[in-house]
């Protein structure tokens, strides 16, 4: 299980580093919200999800998408605005979607992953096949009306939804303490008669355990759960944000506890894998990323005609 979590986390980390490298080199032109520091959360959740299950997330959610199985080539096609993207290059980071892998949407509207996942939970319940949906969102989004509306409806109708708040301590430039009346977001679950837990999201076992309980509960028809997963974002809000509002001691402390190398070391210490095994996983990932980047740059942009398709209900003349 830990090795499976590492496979996903290492992919997310390497992919993030590559995206940033491409942007800084001027080859990739996109706004980018780095999930570095938050890799463990979706990696530890996704090992308990299968192809029936669906996720919705936010603009920062490349990690959530990769952990669920969003393939690299359509992802890079989308990031680069090419026809090979999953939305033919018309969505970008704010609208990543690949329904075949259950990756329904990243959204730029803060709080909107929750009502969408609630609707998907309702559809799953009507289908009766035991599928679940996951809504990933940030600490800032927990103060949006849609959070309360979604939790209420999901609980009332006992929908198979897992609400996972990735509390990275900041919403844009505003700290959690300056924006939120409660110390633990999980206490809000009580207001909607569902279980709520706060856990260390960067601890793979804690995250795996909490997600497994919630997913099993949802599959069994017992309704939704709220999980507040504590974490930290390493690269500020949007790439280019100098993050001067984060006290340097706070950032340094979080970076010193970087969860991906920590898990890597743990796998070695516990002899879950030897170094050669880990390096093989990492070089296979590097190779896959390399191929996806090359394929994206080799693909054409959508072109004017394609840009109008699928955008308007009635195509423009």
Ligand X SMILES: Cc1ncc(C[n+]2csc(CCOP(=O)(O)OP(=O)(O)O)c2C)c(N)n1
Interface with ligand X (CB under 6 A): 58, 60, 108-111, 138-141, 168, 170-172, 237
**139 is a site residue for Mg ion (CB under 5 A):** yes
Contact 165/229 with Cβ under 8 angstroms?
yes
The residue (of 33 and 70) whose beta carbon lies closer to ligand X is 33
Is the CB of 55 or the CB of 141 nearer to ligand X?
A: 141
Q: Rounded to the nearest whole angstrom, what is the least distance from the CB of residue 12 to ligand X in the complex? A: 14
Pick one of ligand X, Mg ion, none as the site partner of residue 20 (Cβ within 5 to 8 A by kind): none
Instruction: Please tell me whether residue 64 binds Mg ion under the rule CB under 5 A.
Output: no
How many Å apart are CA 194 and CA 186, to the nearest integer? 10
- Smallest gap from Cβ 185 to ligand X, in A, equals 11
> What does the chain come to in residues?
317
78 makes contact with Mg ion (CB under 5 A): no
Looking at the Cβ atoms of 49 and 141, the one nearer to ligand X is: 141
Sheet with 54-58: list strands edge to edge.
103-107, 54-58, 133-138, 161-167, 225-230, 196-200
Minimum CB distance to Mg ion smaller for 94 or for 281 = 94
Q: 3-state class of 193 per DSSP?
A: coil
Residues 54, 300, 302: CA angle, nearest 5 degrees: 60
Minimum CB–partner distance for residue 135 and ligand X (Å): 12
Give the residue among 75, 62, 81 at the shortest CA–CA distance from 13: 62
Chosen from Mg ion, ligand X, none, partner binding at 136 (C-beta under 5 to 8 Å by type): none
Q: Which does 172 bind (CB under 5 to 8 A by kind): ligand X, Mg ion, none?
A: ligand X
Instruction: Output the CA angle 38-39-45, nearest 5 degrees.
Output: 105
Q: Based on CB atoms, which residue is closest to ligand X, 113 or 133?
A: 113
CA 281 from centroid of its chain's CA atoms: 21
Asked if 138 is part of the footprint of Mg ion (rule: CB under 5 A), the reply reads: yes
Which of 139/203 has CB closer to ligand X? 139
Segment 160 to 219, residues that bind Mg ion, using CB under 5 A: 168, 171
Please choose, from the candidates 181, 176, 148, the residue with its C-alpha nearest in 3D space to the C-alpha of residue 163. Answer: 148
Strands (E), 156-253: 161-167, 170-171, 174-175, 196-200, 225-230
The residue whose Cβ lies closest to ligand X is: 138
Q: Which residues contact Mg ion by CB under 5 A?
A: 138-139, 168, 171
């Amino acid at each position: 299980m830990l090795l499976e979590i590492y496979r996903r986390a290492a992919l997310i980390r390497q992919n993030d580093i590559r995206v940033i490298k491409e942007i800084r080199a001027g080859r990739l032109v996109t706004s980018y919200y780095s999930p570095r520091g938050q890799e463990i959360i979706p990696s530890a959740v996704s090992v308990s999800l299968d192809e029936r299950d669906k996720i919705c997330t936010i603009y920062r959610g490349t990690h959530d998408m990769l952990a669920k199985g969003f393939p690299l080539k359509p992802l890079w096609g989308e990031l680069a605005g090419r026809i090979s993207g999953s939305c033919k290059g018309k969505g970008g980071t704010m609208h990543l979607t690949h329904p075949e892998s259950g990756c329904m949407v990243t959204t730029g509207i803060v709080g909107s992953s929750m009502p969408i996942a609630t609707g998907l939970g309702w559809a799953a319940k009507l289908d009766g096949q035991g599928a679940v949906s996951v809504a990933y969102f940030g600490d800032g989004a927990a103060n949006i009306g849609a959070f309360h509306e979604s939790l209420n409806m999901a609980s009332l109708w006992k929908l198979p939804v897992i609400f996972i708040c990735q509390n990275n301590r900041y919403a844009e430039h505003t700290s959690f303490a300056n924006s939120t009346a409660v110390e633990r977001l999980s206490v809000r679950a009580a207001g909607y008669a569902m279980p709520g837990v706060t856990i260390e999201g960067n601890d793979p076992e804690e995250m795996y355990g909490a997600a497994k309980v919630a997913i099993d509960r949802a599959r069994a028809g017992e309704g939704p759960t709220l999980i507040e997963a504590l974490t930290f974002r390493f690269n500020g809000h949007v790439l280019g944000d100098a993050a001067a509002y984060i006290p340097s001691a706070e950032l340094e402390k979080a970076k010193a506890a970087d969860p991906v190398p920590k898990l890597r070391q743990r796998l070695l210490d516990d002899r879950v894998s030897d170094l050669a095994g880990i390096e093989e996983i990492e070089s296979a990932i590097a190779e896959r990323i390399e191929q996806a980047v090359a394929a994206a740059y080799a693909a054409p942009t959508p072109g004017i005609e394609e840009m109008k398709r699928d955008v308007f209900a009635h195509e423009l003349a």
